[in-house]
Amino acid sequence: MTPGEAPVDLPGMQASPGRPFGLYVHVPFCVTRCGYCDFNTYTPAELGGANPDAWLQALRAELELAAARLDAPTVSTVFVGGGTPSLLGGERLATLLGMVREHFALAPDAEVTTEANPESTWPEFFGAIRAAGYTRVSLGMQSVAPRVLATLDRVHSPGRAAAAAREAMAAGFEHVNLDLIYGTPGESDDDLLRSVDAAIEAGVDHVSVYALVVEGGTALARRVRRGELAAPDDDVLAHRYELADARLSAAGLTWYEVSNWSRPGGQCRHNLGYWDRGQWWGAGPGAHSHVGATRWWNVKHPNAYAQLLAGGTLPVAGFERLDAEALHTEDVMLRIRLRQGLSLEQLDVAERERARTLVADGLLVADGDRLVLTDRGRLLADAVVRTLLG
């Protein structure tokens, strides 16, 4: 185990009845590390002997322990993220989903998503995972501007992501997402608009658009600190968000969460579970889970993860029990980001009074008994949450 990663025994828990249950599987492998990324991922040089097959064996053990601990609730959604899940290839991803089915019952209409990087996909790959039972693919596009991809250390060619999306749809995927990032140093308005247009023209039913965040400890943060790159400007970020929203809305993709747009029926049900107080078990190194009122997280390094599971121990690094106040804070913070908004019944008297001020300021609108962010409110969603909670 790496320093600071000690096994922790979880308290008793049980999935709450009547609420969707999801599985998240974290794949910690990447060929290279993108300069802006602070996810729990490892390149071959950083793994020290860990490999995909050993990771799969450990994952099988965690899934078995999870099913026993939870009495195997029916799974509504599965999301395989990373890292770069597509590096596993179609056969291993099929094996992974087979392992899930061994230990959990999947709902008949279960949504099964895998993330993928465009450069590690091809038509046969999409055909294999579609045949295995995956129903949705999320591809990292980021941009079609070569200079933006270079700044982000992305290795795929500008047109590869859209081509991969078309290959996925040709293989039978009805639900395909493309991820975009805006606000990269050196990006222009036109760079962003061409990227959004390329996603629309690819014909996908879902587009995620995220502002670049300079995370501490990343190569990008070091370049900004040295003055090699300018930090993203808040006013520029707001303007780019408005440009993307207008273009996507005009093309028939409607926002349903602050950073996500879809065509009818294209919403990511797994992520909606995160935002709408669902429950999930996160399997894999560094994965986070939330069941009932308990949240926990696994040890980060794949070697430590595998060692604990080989000894029959859940690879939990830490946990917390959420009290009523913490659960309420999360409800407000997450649900206000959704187009359906937040029910007034979820707010106390003081919070309702603060909500009236936010409505008067044009950041929220009252839609029946619900509070919904206005266009301007979406730009200031974090500030709206802080004000509501006082």
Shared domain for 91 and 220, answered yes or no, is: yes
Inter-CA distances, 100 with 60, 92, 95, 175, Å: 8, 13, 9, 21
Shared domain for 215 and 72, answered yes or no, is: yes
Report d(CA 284, CA 27) in Å as an integer: 7
Report d(CA 361, CA 381) in Å as an integer: 13
Beta strands 260-262 and 294-298 are unpaired
Q: What is the pLDDT of residues 279-324, one digit of tens each?
A: 999 999 999 999 988 999 999 999 999 999 999 999 999 999 999 9
Shared domain for 152 and 70, answered yes or no, is: yes
Mean pLDDT on 185-202: 97
- Let me know if residue 12 belongs to a domain: no
Shared domain for 39 and 138, answered yes or no, is: yes
- Let me know if residue 93 belongs to a domain: yes
Shared domain for 266 and 354, answered yes or no, is: no
Domain that holds residue 181: 21-276
74 is written with which tokens? Answer: 């029916």
Return the CATH number at 68: 3.20.20.70
Per-residue confidence (pLDDT) for residue 44, from 0 to 100: 80
Domain boundary among 241, 256, 276: 276
Q: What is the pLDDT of residues 328-363, one digit of tens each?
A: 999 999 999 999 999 999 999 999 999 999 999 999
Shared domain for 229 and 147, answered yes or no, is: yes
Name the nearest CA neighbour of 189 among 147, 232, 244.
244
Q: CA quadruple 274, 279, 285, 286: dihedral positive or negative?
A: positive
Domain boundary among 260, 276, 292: 276
DSSP letter at 327 equals: H
How many other CB atoms are there within 10 angstroms of residue 366's CB atom? 13
Mean pLDDT on 214-239: 92
Over pLDDT 70: what percentage of the chain?
A: 97
Q: Residue with structure tokens 């992974």?
A: 96
Shared domain for 120 and 206, answered yes or no, is: yes
Shared domain for 38 and 155, answered yes or no, is: yes
45 pLDDT band, cuts 50/70/90, is confident
- Let me know if residue 217 belongs to a domain: yes
65-79, 119-133, 205-219 — most confident range: 119-133
Name the nearest CA neighbour of 234 among 31, 380, 88, 23.
380
How many other CB atoms are there within 10 angstroms of residue 279's CB atom? 21
Per-residue confidence (pLDDT) for residue 1, from 0 to 100: 37
* Domain count within the chain: 2
- Let me know if residue 134 belongs to a domain: yes
- Let me know if residue 38 belongs to a domain: yes
- Let me know if residue 314 belongs to a domain: no
Shared domain for 151 and 258, answered yes or no, is: yes
Q: Write the Ramachandran bin of 49: left for phi over 0, alpha for psi from -120 to 50, otherwise beta.
A: left
171 pLDDT band, cuts 50/70/90, is very high
Residue 371 has pLDDT above 80, yes or no: yes
Q: Write the Ramachandran bin of 286: left for phi over 0, alpha for psi from -120 to 50, otherwise beta.
A: left
Shared domain for 150 and 254, answered yes or no, is: yes
Per-residue confidence (pLDDT) for residue 4, from 0 to 100: 42
198 pLDDT band, cuts 50/70/90, is very high
Per-residue confidence (pLDDT) for residue 297, from 0 to 100: 96
- Let me know if residue 291 belongs to a domain: no
Q: What is the pLDDT of residues 4-31, one digit of tens each?
A: 455 667 776 777 777 789 999 999 999 8
Residue 41 has pLDDT above 80, yes or no: yes
Report d(CA 139, CA 162) in Å as an integer: 9
Shared domain for 154 and 245, answered yes or no, is: yes
**Average pLDDT, rounded, for the chain:** 93
DSSP letter at 288 equals: E
Domain boundary among 234, 254, 276: 276
Edge-first strand listing for the sheet containing 364-367: 342-343, 370-373, 364-367
Shared domain for 79 and 186, answered yes or no, is: yes
Name the nearest CA neighbour of 198 among 211, 187, 207.
207
- Let me know if residue 31 belongs to a domain: yes
Report d(CA 251, CA 206) in Å as an integer: 12
Name the nearest CA neighbour of 35 among 126, 149, 144.
149
